[in-house]
Structure 1
Amino acid sequence: MVAKRFVLFLLLASSLFLEDTLSKPGKKKGKPSKDKQNNDDCKGKKCSKPKKCSVEYTSEQIQNQLGLIPQFTNIRGYSFENYRSTEEVITDKSNRTAGSHIYYLIDASSPLDVYHQLLSDEVRYFYMGDPVKILELNNNVSGHIVETVLGDDILAGQNVMHVLERNTWFTALRIEGGPCGWSLIGMNESPGFEFEDLQVGNRTELISLFPEAEQSIIRLTENNE
């Protein structure tokens, strides 16, 4: 009787051990998983996943959808004015519309923007695509350049909007290497935008005003000496 009970005990213990073994994932032979390969490549460090564009649009699709056309001015890219106020305000020059809004797209084919200024306050909004870097010339900061990044990653310090005060020398550049290959932003001017209110920076004059930003000015101005 004791022997029978001992045999039953062994059978039960073996059954439990086998069940527990089968329930745990074992190591499979063959190639390591992608996660293991990535960890090995990173040598213990956490690998960052390659970023993807938030939308699967091309620059051409956005241009066609929003009616954007090439800008034949010193400020390059593709744009379309989709709003102009019917109200007017009085300025130092003449009456101006109270406000306007422009879609503005920059892609890999757009030449570099140049330093310029406006007679109106401008609010720039980030809509989609790769982040955009705004550079402002300012004598009150070291290096004479204030850098702001427009983008949707606000936790990384990017901004979905930025105010540019009138008479500020600035330029905007798409950050290269982004997954989209283009950037779409909005520009809201108050008073409304007029081409005659846009002034392109003179390289020599800007360097004399902001000497610490000389290299940036040389790169982002036309040779208008």
Structure 2
Amino acid sequence: MQKSKNYWIEQLNLLPHPEGGYYKTVPQPAEQITTEDQRERPLYTSIYFLLSQESPSHFHRLKSDEIWYFHAGDPLTIHLLYPDGHYEQVKLGSSIENKEVLQYTVPKGVIFGSSIEENGDYALVSCMVAPGFDYQDFELFTQAQLLEVYPHQREVIRKLAFESLPD
């Protein structure tokens, strides 16, 4: 029997994430690295991340690769907007026979967001960023910003980009 999204939110003590969904940071490694811009960062960071129909991951961009690992719930779609203008979808889930993947690496510099399949309720994943995540490397987008660059992706942009950025 599949657990409910509230079960995971309560058991893992997940909190609302600024881009959507719920998250909890897991312990970071003690090892630090120096980035190209001379900042000290953890070697990597990782979070539990729960997304639902009403709380998807809105379009954002990172300066590092991010690896997504599927754990539980329903499949989700990672929507990718590449700098060269093309759009791609990747299905993250456990039904390999349905061309879902258990993990996927989102390349640095690609704008992306994630949504639960229409008949689904939630997905529980982990996300790992190396070097470690820093909000200075995180950029959210409005619908207007993305429609200017990706006008042919209107439907997914309206679904996964904020009309105005949250405070």
Task: Tell me if 1:210 matches 2:150.
Answer: yes
The answer to whether the 8 A contact 1:138-1:210 is kept is no
C-alpha displacement at 1:140, in angstroms?
A: 4.9
Task: Tell me if 1:164 matches 2:110.
Answer: no
Give the Cα separation in 1 of the matches to 2:56 and 2:105: 21
| Relative contact order, higher structure (CA 8 A, sep 6+) | 2
The answer to whether the 8 A contact 1:139-1:210 is kept is no
Give the Cα separation in 1 of the matches to 2:7 and 2:142: 35
Provide the secondary structure at the position in 2 that maps to 1:123: strand
Q: From the CA coordinates, give the structure whose radius of gyration is larger.
A: 1
The answer to whether the 8 A contact 1:149-1:159 is kept is yes
Give the TM-score of the pair, scaled to structure 1.
Answer: 0.67
C-alpha displacement at 1:191, in angstroms?
A: 0.8
Provide the secondary structure at the position in 2 that maps to 1:86: coil
Q: Deviations over 1:114-137 (max 9, x none)?
A: 210012210001111100100001
Give the Cα separation in 2 of the matches to 1:219 and 1:130: 19
Match of 2:48 in 1: 103
Alignment of 1:1-225 (within 5 A): 55-71=1-17, 73=18, 75-93=19-37, 94-108=39-53, 110-138=54-82, 140=84, 144-178=86-120, 181-224=121-164
Structure 1 residues 219 and 58: CA distance shift in structure 2, 3 A: closer
Provide the secondary structure at the position in 2 that maps to 1:215: helix
Give the Cα separation in 2 of the matches to 1:189 and 1:101: 6
Aligned amino acid, residue 107 of structure 1: S
Aligned amino acid, residue 58 of structure 1: S
C-alpha displacement at 1:161, in angstroms?
A: 0.4
> Which 5+ residue runs of structure 1 have no aligned equivalent?
1-54
The answer to whether the 8 A contact 1:63-1:78 is kept is yes
Aligned residue pairs total 164
Which protein is richer in strand relative to its size? Answer: 2
Q: Deviations over 1:137-185 (max 9, x none)?
A: 12557xx31000001001110000000111110001111213xx22101
Aligned amino acid, residue 8 of structure 2: I
RMSD: 2.0
> Which 5+ residue runs of structure 2 have no aligned equivalent?
none
Which protein is richer in helix relative to its size? Answer: 1
Q: Percent identity?
A: 24
